[in-house]
Structure 1
Amino acid sequence: MFSGLPFVYFASGTSMAAPKVSASLALIINQRHYKNQPNKSIDYLYKNGVKKGIEPNSAYWGNGQLDVYNAVK
């Protein structure tokens, strides 16, 4: 994730991923009407919102990439 802060060009890790995953789940919950169904929302995200088959790169990602567009289209 690129930062708007001076002299900070790139950051990674769970603190950068958590807001993106949370927002993705919020979109899925809203679109799929999964309110109060967290397990269903998470399962849907794993099945439809993660690009698989991408070579893991520990510097950037470890288990696919988030694909929000695919999850909510």
Structure 2
Amino acid sequence: MSVERATMAFAGFMVMLSLLLTATVHHNFVWLTLFVGANLFQSAFTGFCPASMLMRKFGMKTEAEQAKANTH
């Protein structure tokens, strides 16, 4: 799995988790949903995403890196 796909999966998971927590634990967990959405929005313009940076540090490769490795 590439960093890009893992980031989308992680963001989707966090949105679902925060909505579940909002419905079952406390209504203030809705702020986590807002934070995830705002982070996705800003990363579309800036390219800065802390989750992606962590995934890269743990050794995940981007789609471009995976494509380059497959051509050699």
Higher relative contact order (CA 8 A, sep 6+): 2
Give the structure with the larger helix fraction.
2
Give the structure with the larger strand fraction.
1
TM-score range, shorter chain: 0.3 to 0.5
Task: Name the larger-Rg structure.
Answer: 2
Question: What TM-score does the superposition give when structure 1 sets the normalisation length?
Answer: 0.34
